[in-house]
């Protein structure tokens, strides 16, 4: 089963609003990844985080690796219609290191 818990499950926002979503785990992760999946396509890597406490930006996206290594958040500023999609957090479990575990995803809808 899933090891990562994402929230919220879905979000409906107006264009221009900021968005925040997070991901938590009962296990320690040594890497956090955030992916976006557009409708009808495979997930695409947005941001990768490798150190506890790390804060990384990619354009309007900002993600942080929690200091406990059990959580991460993703912020999107000034949302635009093309931000629509499903956002997944993912990470390799420390014990295995070889397989990515994915969260359930956050479905984002942006109204123009």
Partner 1 sequence: DAGVIQSPRHEVTEMGQEVTLRCKPISGHDYLFWYRQTMMRGLELLIYFNNNVPIDDSGMPEDRFSAKMPNASFSTLKIQPSEPRDSAVYFCASSFGLLLHNYGYTFGSGTRLTVV
Of 45, 55, 67, 80, the one binding partner 1 by CB under 8 A: 45
Interaction of residue 26 with partner 1, rule CB under 8 A: no
Q: Which is nearer to partner 1, 11 or 49 (CB)?
A: 49
Interaction of residue 39 with partner 1, rule CB under 8 A: no
Interaction of residue 42 with partner 1, rule CB under 8 A: yes
Sheet bearing 4-7, strands edge to edge? 4-7, 19-25, 71-76, 61-65, 55-58
Q: Is 82 helix (H, G, I), strand (E, B) or coil?
A: helix
Distance of closest approach, residue 13 Cβ to partner 1, in angstroms? 22
Question: Of 83, 79, 85, 81, nearest to 107 (Cα)?
Answer: 85
Question: Of 88, 71, 83, nearest to 110 (Cα)?
Answer: 83
Distance CA 71, CA 13 (A): 24
> Which span sits near partner 1 by CB under 8 A: 7-15, 61-69, 75-83, 101-109?
101-109
Which residues of the shown chain bind partner 1 in the complex (CB under 8 A)? 2, 30-31, 33, 40-45, 48, 50, 88, 92, 97-100, 102-105
């Amino acid at each position: 089963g899933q090891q990562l818990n994402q929230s919220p499950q879905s979000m409906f926002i107006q264009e221009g609003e900021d968005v925040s979503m997070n991901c938590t785990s009962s296990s320690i992760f040594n890497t956090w990844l955030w992916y976006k999946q557009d409708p009808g396509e495979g997930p695409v890597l947005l941001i990768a985080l490798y150190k506890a406490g790390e804060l990384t930006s990619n354009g309007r996206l900002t993600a942080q690796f929690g200091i406990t290594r059990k959580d991460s958040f993703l912020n999107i500023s000034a949302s635009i219609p093309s931000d629509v999609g499903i956002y997944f957090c993912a990470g390799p479990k420390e014990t295995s290191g070889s397989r990515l575990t994915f969260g359930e995803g956050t479905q984002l809808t942006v109204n123009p």
